[in-house]
């Protein structure tokens, strides 16, 4: 071999690793284990740069730990249920199952050439009946433990397609296909009792020392523990059965500033009024328009309706407040009813101003307090304020003190009681869709809702379904739906809801420890392999997936499927940034159409402007003198700089095929829907896997987003070729000068230390930078061939986690024994890291003016003498003596004049 040729060697090394079984995880009690896991992918059919980055990071960790003597488990699987498979079936025909499995085969074929150190013998997909059958078994166990129940909850309802929509399918309040306004509708659904664990899930965050602080903070805020007062207003003029209105407040200290009570549109009182009062019915119906997402509800204009009902203030029976129905009150939180204190809540203030309600200050700033005008006064709860309406605490007190006093007072007077509430809601897992894990439950006319018998598991999805009609095919599949009751044997019906795909991904990490076990987990394998030592995935999963997994591990422990040590399944978490790319878009207008199934009188809807997105390779650019198919941000910026007056879109912006103008939107997370994706396969086929791997590990810190650009891929390839040549030339460049050996070896040990620290600290970009610098040092060194061989063997080892194939090439070229993939990680010799001289910068008033070089252990007085003798310092001092002289040993000297 005479040149770096990844196309030939990469496949050979992959075959060699396979033959040696290097990546098979061995349950070896004699060795410490290390379980590294990356969040498994959804099988869209194509891998993208985000996958390459994610799996390369895990691979670097896995290979490094293996070299350090650990028995490593590094598995891979597929998060294979979900909506895209059904959408594909609707759009192109075919079956979600064939679409999914064929995508899995495609993606596996694209991933294998990356040379990841994955134990493929443990691979599974969540849509395998062997997997979801075990999930059904656990669901039944959880039912028996009381962790599962049914209740009514709202969904997005598309009145034209007569189907439930996901939040992402609701675009500006309208169905994505029908374009009809979406309504909120209640359905009976299945729930996991995650809120029973709210306190534990919150407290245990403190123990997750190796999780990012931001993730723990986000989860804590999501769980949202609050202490407040719950009490009941006596109502005046309310329908029978509503003599009292329970409210919850976290600000009982502001009770004397209350100006109205407000209830959610779904509150029982609102429903009672709706039945008899057409105006209420109309208002509530208006509130139910739009999607169910918190974002949609919170950003909608705040509107209210005065019910005419009044409530008596608990502190003063002669003081009555109006009861409003308000669209921003959530039925899911607290009691679905509040009292509004406009002076100290901006939302309440806006509402009060809009409808002319009273605004009463209960406290003002301790100094120079002014009454509230347009802005509510909401200081930190720990800040001392001056009270105008205090009823159980001193005039000057913090809100924290006042809240505690108000609760104690209310309890003493029998007005209400202190309550701890959580924002966290129970986990609704029902999905009215086909392509998910069937909920293993049977509805029997005489026995009610009963679990399927375990011996009948898995409840398999039927294959003979079609997607030509919107809605859930399971609902209209009589032979699947009709069954016999496992208790009484009578004719019964299957549950047709399937599970949220977050359930599938909440325990796959445990299944990997024994992927073929006849039970969900295997106790011995769990005992050895759990927990995941390092979990790696996108920060977008910081809350839902990770919180659900933490809950599910607890539920699995409660049902005997995980040991107690695994209730926090992920010891360490790393959240990588996303791979982003510019977005190319154009838009077109669809004329308004009547909603066909709403009846003949339906008015045409308004015209719809739809965004269309274009793949990077479909867009061509106008960049004089440049390859039109490279969309380098650098070039655009340069172009804009060189051509004042031109706009960003002028730089490059039309479709290659039609010449239609497209617009360039700022980089965002690569996503299929925005089509701003880049295909790593072409990089791998052009340059080899190592180039792709090296490229995604360099430059950007792994926790930060990285904007993909074509630049650098080629540069990475060039660098790997250079490293290959450096190894090739070790013996071809003559004997060299042994006097230079020490300097090279010192650099080598420095590099070992830097690369090791970089990998262990998840600073792969810094490890890469150290390796670049080391290559420069080897190239410029005149050291002996022996020293260079040692240096390049170490180079091979240090690069092997990132560029494993090239590392094997070099290792073999230089006569290394066995595979570098099985060699022990090199250790830096501390003696070689010591420098005998240090350079001390000299500052004057914090500005650097000069520097001196002194032996490392020079004492401060000696340094001071040298500094004062320095020419530049003398010039600045001009005979005066410095006000102060700060010597930070080994660091810096600051002369204050």
Partner RNA sequence: GCGGGUGUGGCGGAAUGGUAGACGCGACAGACUCAAAAUCUGUUUCCGCAAGGAGUGUCGGUUCGAGUCCGACCACCCGUACCA
Question: Within 654-713, which residues bind RNA (CB under 7 A)?
Answer: 666-669, 698-701, 704-707, 709, 711-712
User: CA nearest 887: which of 837, 872, 852?
Assistant: 852
Q: Which of residues 230-289 bind RNA (CB under 7 A)?
A: none
Q: Which is nearer to RNA, 616 or 816 (CB)?
A: 616
Q: Which is nearer to RNA, 306 or 699 (CB)?
A: 699
Instruction: Kindly state the smallest distance separating residue 453's Cβ from RNA, in Å.
Output: 26
**Euclidean distance between the first and the last CA atom of the chain, given in angstroms as a whole number:** 65
Encoded tokens for 211: 């999780």
Report the residue from 226, 250, 277, 293 that binds RNA according to the rule CB under 7 A.
293
CB of 435 vs RNA, minimal distance in Å? 8
| Min dist. Cβ of residue 423 to RNA (A) | 5
Please identify, among the stretches 412-420, 425-433, 464-472, 550-558, the one whose residues bind RNA according to the rule CB under 7 A: 425-433
Q: Which residue has the tokens 């909120």?
A: 184
Residue 564 DSSP symbol:
G
- Asked whether position 839 contacts RNA by CB under 7 A, the answer is yes
Q: Which of 466, 617, 846, 860 binds RNA (CB under 7 A)?
A: 846
Task: Provide the pairing of β-strand 316-326 with 337-340.
Answer: unpaired
From the list 273-281, 364-372, 629-637, 798-806, the region that binds RNA by CB under 7 A is: 629-637
Among 386, 481, 633, 866, binds RNA (CB under 7 A): 633
Instruction: Indicate the burial class of 849 (C-beta count within 10 angstroms; 0-12, 13-18, 19 or more).
Output: middle
Give the residue, chosen from 14, 110, 292, 800, that forms a contact with RNA under the rule CB under 7 A: 292
Query: Cβ closer to RNA: 367 or 657?
Result: 367
Q: Which of residues 724-763 bind RNA (CB under 7 A)?
A: 763
Angle at CA 355, nearest 5°, toward 244 and 353? 115
User: In the range 331-390, which residues lie near RNA by CB under 7 A?
Assistant: 332, 346-347
Contact range with RNA by CB under 7 A, out of 4-12, 467-475, 555-563, 634-642: 634-642
Q: Is 177 in the site for RNA (CB under 7 A)?
A: no
Could you tell me the smallest distance in angstroms from the CB atom of residue 182 to RNA?
11
Residues 140-169 that bind RNA (CB under 7 A): 155-156, 164-169
Least separation in angstroms between CB 309 and RNA:
27
Structural contact between residues 554 and 138, judged by C-beta atoms closer than 8 angstroms = no
151, 354, 718, 865: which one contacts RNA (CB under 7 A)? 718
Closest to RNA by CB, 235 or 505 = 505
What CA–CA distance (Å, rounded) separates 302 from 354?
9
Closer to RNA at the Cβ: 246 or 835? 835
Q: By CB under 7 A, tell whether 715 contacts RNA.
A: yes
Q: Is 428 in the site for RNA (CB under 7 A)?
A: yes
Residue 40 token pair: 């498994």
When binding is defined by CB under 7 A, the residue of 19, 92, 206, 213 that contacts RNA is 213
H/E stretch holding 118 reads none
Q: By CB under 7 A, tell whether 877 contacts RNA.
A: no
In whole angstroms, the minimum distance from the beta carbon of 654 to RNA comes to 23
Please identify, using beta-carbon distances, which residue of 307 and 575 lies nearer to RNA.
575
Considering only residues 588 through 627, tell me which ones interact with RNA, judged by CB under 7 A: none
Structure tokens at 866: 């040298």
Taking the complex as a whole, the smallest distance from the CB of residue 541 to RNA amounts, in Å, to 6
Contacts of 96 (CB under 8 A, 6+ apart): 85, 86, 88, 89, 434, 435
Of the candidate residues 171, 187, 303, 743, the single one contacting RNA (CB under 7 A): 187
Number of chain positions touching RNA (CB under 7 A) = 102
Q: Which of residues 71-110 bind RNA (CB under 7 A)?
A: 79, 81-84
Does the footprint of RNA cover residue 214 (CB under 7 A)? yes
| Alpha-carbon gap, residue 36 to 75, rounded angstroms | 8
What distances in angstroms separate CA 198 from CA 423, 425, 547, 671, 867, one per listed residue?
9, 9, 10, 32, 61
Nearer to RNA, 24 or 837 (CB): 837
Q: What is the DSSP track for 796-822?
A: HHHHTTTSHHHHHHHHHHTT-SS-GGG
Going from the C-alpha of 205 to that of each of 216, 568, 695, the distances in angstroms are 6, 9, 35
Please report, as residue ranges, which positions from 528 to 547 form the binding site for RNA (by CB under 7 A).
539-545
Closer to RNA by CB, 166 or 649: give it.
166
Nearest to 751 by CA among 828, 856, 676: 828
Binding to RNA by residue 630, rule CB under 7 A? no
Q: Where are the beta strands (DSSP E) in 659-782?
A: 663-669, 706-707
Tell me how far, at minimum, the Cβ of 668 lies from RNA, in Å. 4
Residues 556-585 that bind RNA (CB under 7 A): 578
Rounded distance between C-alpha atoms, residue 445 and residue 717, angstroms: 68
Q: Which is nearer to RNA, 698 or 797 (CB)?
A: 698
Question: The tokens 């030939």 sit on which residue?
Answer: 8
Angle between helix 804-813 and 785-799 (nearest 10):
150
Contact 532, 565 (CB under 8 A): no
Q: Give me the long-range contacts of 370-378 (CB less than 8 A, separation at least 24).
A: 372/342, 372/343, 372/344, 374/349, 375/346, 375/349, 376/342, 376/343, 376/344, 376/345, 376/346, 376/348, 376/349, 377/343, 377/344, 378/344, 378/345, 378/346
* Contact call for residue 848 and RNA (CB under 7 A): yes
User: Measured from the CB atom, is 770 or 807 closer to RNA?
Assistant: 770
Contact segment (CB under 7 A) with RNA among 396-404, 412-420, 459-467, 841-849 equals: 841-849
For 322-353, b/e burial (b = at least 16 CB within 10 A) is bbbbbbbbbbebbbbbbbbbbbbbeebbbbbe
Beta-strand relationship, 482-484 and 427-428: unpaired
> Which segment (237-245, 483-491, 745-753, 772-780) binds RNA by CB under 7 A?
772-780
Minimal distance in Å, beta carbon 846 to RNA?
3
Return the residues of window 493-512 that contact RNA according to CB under 7 A.
500-502
Is position 65 an interface residue for RNA (rule: CB under 7 A)? no
3-state helix, strand, coil in the chain (%, to 5): 40, 25, 40
Least distance (Å) between residue 87 CB and RNA = 9
46 scored as a contact of RNA (CB under 7 A)? no
Which C-beta is closer to RNA: that of 84 or that of 314? 84
Antiparallel, parallel or unpaired: β 706-707 and 579-590:
parallel
Task: Give whichever of 16 and 640 is closer to RNA, judged by the CB atom.
Answer: 640
Query: Binder to RNA among 250, 277, 571, 638 (CB under 7 A)?
Result: 638
Among 107, 147, 759, 768, binds RNA (CB under 7 A): 768
Q: Is 866 in the site for RNA (CB under 7 A)?
A: no
Measured torsion, CA atoms of residues 471, 473, 477, 480, in degrees rounded to the nearest 10: -130
- 318: number of Cβ within 10 Å: 6
CB of 822 to RNA, least distance (A): 28
Task: Compute φ and ψ for 367, nearest 5 degrees.
Answer: -110, 135
Return the H-helix or E-strand segment holding 374.
none
Residue from 17, 42, 132, 551 touching RNA (CB under 7 A): that is 42
Q: Does position 27 bind RNA by CB under 7 A? A: no
Residue pointed to by tokens 């150190």? 117
Is 643 among the residues that bind RNA (CB under 7 A)?
A: no
Q: What angle do CA 549, 553, 557 make, to 5 degrees?
A: 170
- Closest distance between RNA and the C-beta of residue 299, in Å? 5
User: Rounded to the nearest whole angstrom, what is the least distance from the CB of residue 539 to RNA in the complex?
Assistant: 5
Nearer to RNA, 381 or 722 (CB): 722
């Amino acid at each position: 071999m005479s040149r770096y040729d990844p196309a030939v060697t990469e496949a050979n090394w992959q075959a060699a690793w396979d033959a040696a079984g290097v990546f098979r995880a061995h349950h070896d009690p004699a060795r410490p284990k290390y379980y590294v896991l990356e969040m498994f992918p959804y099988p869209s059919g194509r891998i993208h740069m985000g996958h390459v980055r994610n799996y390369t990071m895990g691979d670097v960790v896995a290979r490094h730990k293996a070299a350090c003597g650990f028995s490593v488990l590094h598995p891979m699987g597929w998060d294979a249920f979900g909506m895209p498979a059904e959408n594909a079936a609707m759009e192109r025909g075919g079956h979600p199952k064939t679409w999914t499995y064929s995508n899995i085969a495609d993606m596996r074929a694209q991933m294998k050439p990356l040379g990841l150190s994955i134990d493929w013998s443990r691979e599974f997909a969540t849509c395998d009946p062997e997997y979801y059958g075990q999930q059904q078994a656990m669901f039944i166990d959880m039912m028996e433990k009381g962790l599962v129940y049914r209740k009514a909850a709202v969904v997005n309802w598309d009145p034209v397609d007569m189907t439930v929509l996901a939040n992402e399918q609701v675009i500006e309040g309208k169905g994505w296909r029908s374009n009809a306004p979406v309504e909120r509708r209640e359905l009976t659904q299945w729930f996991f009792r995650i809120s029973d664990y709210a306190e534990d899930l919150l407290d245990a965050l403190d123990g997750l020392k190796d999780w990012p602080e931001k993730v723990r903070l986000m989860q804590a805020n999501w769980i949202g523990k609050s202490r407040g007062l719950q009490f009941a207003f006596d109502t005046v003029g309310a329908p029978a059965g509503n003599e009292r209105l329970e409210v919850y407040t976290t600000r009982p200290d502001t009770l004397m500033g209350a100006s109205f009570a407000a209830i959610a549109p779904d509150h029982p009182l609102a429903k009672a009024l709706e039945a008899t009062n057409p105006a209420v019915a109309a208002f509530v119906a208006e509130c139910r328009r739009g999607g169910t997402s918190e974002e949609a509800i919170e950003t909608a204009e705040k509107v209210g309706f005065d019910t005419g009902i009044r409530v008596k203030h608990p502190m003063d029976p002669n003081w009555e407040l109006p009861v409003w129905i308000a669209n921003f009150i959530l039925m899911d939180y607290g009691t679905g009813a509040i009292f509004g204190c406009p002076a100290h809540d901006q939302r309440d203030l806006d509402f009060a101003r809009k409808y002319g309600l009273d605004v009463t200050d209960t406290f003002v700033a301790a100094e120079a307090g002014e009454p509230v005008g347009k802005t509510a006064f909401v200081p930190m709860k720990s800040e001392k304020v001056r009270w105008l309406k205090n009823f159980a605490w001193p005039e000057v007190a913090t809100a924290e003190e006042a809240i505690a006093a108000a609760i104690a007072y209310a309890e003493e007077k029998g007005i209400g009681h202190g309550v701890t509430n959580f924002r966290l809601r129970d986990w609704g897992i029902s999905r009215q869709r086909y392509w998910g894990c069937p909920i293993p439950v049977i509805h029997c006319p005489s026995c009610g809702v009963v679990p399927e018998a375990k011996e009948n598991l898995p409840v398999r999805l039927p294959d003979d379904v079609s997607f030509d009609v919107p809605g859930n095919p399971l609902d209209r599949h009589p032979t699947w739906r009709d069954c016999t009751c496992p208790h009484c044997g009578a004719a019964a019906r299957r549950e047709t809801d399937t599970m949220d795909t977050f359930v599938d991904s909440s325990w796959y990490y445990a299944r990997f420890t024994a992927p073929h076990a006849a039970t969900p987990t295997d106790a011995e394998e769990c005992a050895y392999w759990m927990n995941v030592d390092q979990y790696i995935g996108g920060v977008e999963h910081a809350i839902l997936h990770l919180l659900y997994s933490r809950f599910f591990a607890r539920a699995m422990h409660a049902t005997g499927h995980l040991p107690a040590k695994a209730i926090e399944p992920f010891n360490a978490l790393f959240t990588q940034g996303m791979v982003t790319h510019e977005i190319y878009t154009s838009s077109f207008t669809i004329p308004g159409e009547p909603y066909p199934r709403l009846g003949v009188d339906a008015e045409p809807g308004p015209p719809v402007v739809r965004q269309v997105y274009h793949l990077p390779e479909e867009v061509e650019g106008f960049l004089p003198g440049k390859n039109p198919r490279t969309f380098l941000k650098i070039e655009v910026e340069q172009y804009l700089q060189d051509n004042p007056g031109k706009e960003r879109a002028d730089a490059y912006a039309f479709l290659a095929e039609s010449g239609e103008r497209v617009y360039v939107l700022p980089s965002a997370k690569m996503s299929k829907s925005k089509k701003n994706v880049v295909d790593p396969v072409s990089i791998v086929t052009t340059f080899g896997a190592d180039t792709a791997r090296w490229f995604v590990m360099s430059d950007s810190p792994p926790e930060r987003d990285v904007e993909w650009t074509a630049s650098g891929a080629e540069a990475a390839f060039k660098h790997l070729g250079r490293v290959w040549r450096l190894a090739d030339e070790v013996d071809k460049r003559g004997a060299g000068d042994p006097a230079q050996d020490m300097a090279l070896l010192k650099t080598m040990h420095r590099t070992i230390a830097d690369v090791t620290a970089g990998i262990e600290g998840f600073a792969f970009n810094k490890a890469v930078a150290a390796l670049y610098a080391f290559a420069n040092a080897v190239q410029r060194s005149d050291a002996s061939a022996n020293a260079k061989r040692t240096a390049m063997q170490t180079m091979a080892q240090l690069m092997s986690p990132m560029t494993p194939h090239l590392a094997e090439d070099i290792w073999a070229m230089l006569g290394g024994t066995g595979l570098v993939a099985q060699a022990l990680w090199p250790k830096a010799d501390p003696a070689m890291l010591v420098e005998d001289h240090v350079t001390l910068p000299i500052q004057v008033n914090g500005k650097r003016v000069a520097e001196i070089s002194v032996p490392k252990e020079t004492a401060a007085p000696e340094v001071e003498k040298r500094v004062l003798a320095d020419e530049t310092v003398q010039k600045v001092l001009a005979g005066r003596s410095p006000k102060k002289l700060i010597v930070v040993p080994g660091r810096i000297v600051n002369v204050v004049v």
